[in-house]
Amino acid sequence: MAHPGSSHYVSIEPTLKKLAQQSDASDPGLAAEIANALSLLLDEKLSELQAAALLALLHHRNKDKDVNVISEWSFWTGTKRADNIWADWQCDISGTGGNAAAIISVAAVASVLASSMLLIAQHGYLSATSPTSSANTEDILSNIKPNAPLLAKVTAERVPEIYKRSNYAFLPERNFAPEMQHANRIRLGLGIRTIFDLTSTLLHPIHASCVLEARVVGVANPVLGPVLAQAIQNMGVRKALVVCGNDSMDIISPEGSTSCWMVRDLPAEDNGSGIQEFRLQPRDFGLSENPLTSIEAKGSFDQEAVVLSRVLHNQLSDDDPVLQCVLMHIAALFVTSGICDTSQEDANAERGPGGGRWKEGVRLARSCIASGEALKALETFAYVSSQLD
User: Which residues does residue 262 pair with via DSSP β-bridges, in sequence order?
Assistant: 241, 276
pLDDT greater than 90 at residue 67: no
Q: Which residues, other chains included, contact 315 with Cβ-Cβ below 8 Å and sequence gap of 6+? A: none
Residue 305 carries which side chain, given as an amino acid letter?
A: A
DSSP three-state, residue 235:
coil
pLDDT tens digits for range 273-286: 689 999 999 999 99
According to the model, what pLDDT value does residue 233 have? 83
- Highest mean pLDDT (candidates 75-79, 133-137, 292-296): 292-296
d(CA 50, CA 228): 26
pLDDT greater than 80 at residue 77: no
pLDDT tens digits for range 314-353: 999 999 999 999 999 999 999 999 999 886 666 567 899 9
Can you say how many angstroms the Cα of residue 309 is from the centroid of all Cα atoms in its chain?
21
According to the model, what pLDDT value does residue 202 have? 73
pLDDT tens digits for range 346-365: 656 789 999 999 999 999 99
pLDDT tens digits for range 44-64: 999 999 999 999 999 999 888
Q: Cβ-count burial of 131 within 10 angstroms (0-12 exposed, 13-18 middle, 19+ buried)?
A: middle
According to the model, what pLDDT value does residue 118 have? 94
DSSP sequence for 130-182: -SSGGG-HHHHHHT-SS----GGG--GGGHHHHHHH-SEEEEEHHHH-TTHHH
d(CA 155, CA 388): 10
Phi and psi at residue 166, to the nearest 5° = -135, 145
Confidence of residue 134 (pLDDT cuts 50, 70, 90): very low
According to the model, what pLDDT value does residue 386 have? 94
d(CA 319, CA 366): 12
The reported pTM is 0.88
